[in-house]
Amino acid sequence: MGSLRVSANSYRPMSLRVNGTVIINNDIEQACSLTRQKVILPVMLKHLSQSISPITDLANWNFTEQAGLQLAAVLIPIVIRNNTHSIILTKRSQGLNNHAGQISFPGGRAEKADKNALDTALRETNEEVGISHEQIKVAGFLDLYTTVSDFIITPIVGFIDADYQAQIDAFEVEYVFEVPCEILLNDSNYQRNKIFWQGEMRLFWELNYEDHHIWGATAAILKNLATRLAGIKY
């Protein structure tokens, strides 16, 4: 399956509509029993609800206690279309000062107006790729990840409306594309590598998809999600 690419030229609880009935995330088991003809989405919802931290456990930002670290959040945007799963990723613009040209999630550093990581992830996603919070059903969040550049990142997991239309900020994003979950959530696709950085050898995760090299924080966060959902077929 080729990637879908788009070039640059207030929070809803996770829910699912089944035969006209809206199922909220705390009724995942009911959603699974109601939907038989399309089992992929309910199965993923069920396993996500069991494998990641609920959004209600998300703490508010504390800008005074993270000594030497910059607070940040990203969105892991999952799209389900025609019974297939994919995750939206971005290629960062070449002109950026940090991580130029790298593959990443929508997201960025926290601002003082952000109450918590969810606010940051939703705001940055809207700014970078034009996906509004109305198009996002939030599922929960993953383990925090600290980068070698002194960011502490909270990854938020959310489902994106299948008919989204990316509106890219060309200053930050060169293009967006989708990668099938069968690639990203397959634990065996990740390789461990090392690099000499700032006077010491550091280990990192990486994987390749088509002409995209996914590594560093993005690969590590995806690897964490893949490990949590190990054994589930997509």
Q: How many residues does the chain have?
A: 234
Dump pLDDT digits (tens) for 104-162.
999 999 999 999 999 999 999 999 999 999 999 999 999 999 988 889 999 999 999 99
What is the residue-averaged pLDDT of the chain? 81
d(CA 220, CA 211): 19
Low-confidence winner among 15-19, 95-99, 161-165, 167-171 (lowest mean pLDDT)? 15-19
Confidence (pLDDT) at 94? 77
Q: Is the pLDDT of residue 28 over 60?
A: no
Q: Is the pLDDT of residue 16 over 50?
A: no
Q: Is the pLDDT of residue 39 over 60?
A: no
| Residues whose CB is less than 8 angstroms from the CB of residue 106 and which lie 6 or more positions away in sequence, other chains included | 74, 75, 77, 88, 90, 121, 124, 125, 128, 129, 131
Which domains are seen in the chain, by residue range? 5-228 (3.90.79.10)
Confidence (pLDDT) at 200? 76
Radius of gyration of the chain (CA): 17
Task: Tokens for 76, please give them.
Answer: 């892991």
pLDDT-derived band at 60, boundaries 50, 70, 90: very high
Q: Give strand ranges (E) for 82-135.
A: 84-92, 103-104, 107-109
Confidence (pLDDT) at 64? 74
Confidence (pLDDT) at 63? 80
Place of tokens 């940090």: 98
Nearest Cα to Cα of residue 156 among 192, 110, 190: 110
| Residues whose CB is less than 8 angstroms from the CB of residue 194 and which lie 6 or more positions away in sequence, other chains included | 201, 202, 203, 204
| Range 199-214 average pLDDT | 88
Confidence (pLDDT) at 148? 82
pLDDT-derived band at 41, boundaries 50, 70, 90: low
Low-confidence winner among 17-21, 165-169, 210-214 (lowest mean pLDDT)? 17-21
d(CA 146, CA 129): 24
Dump pLDDT digits (tens) for 78-103.
998 887 889 999 998 877 666 667 89
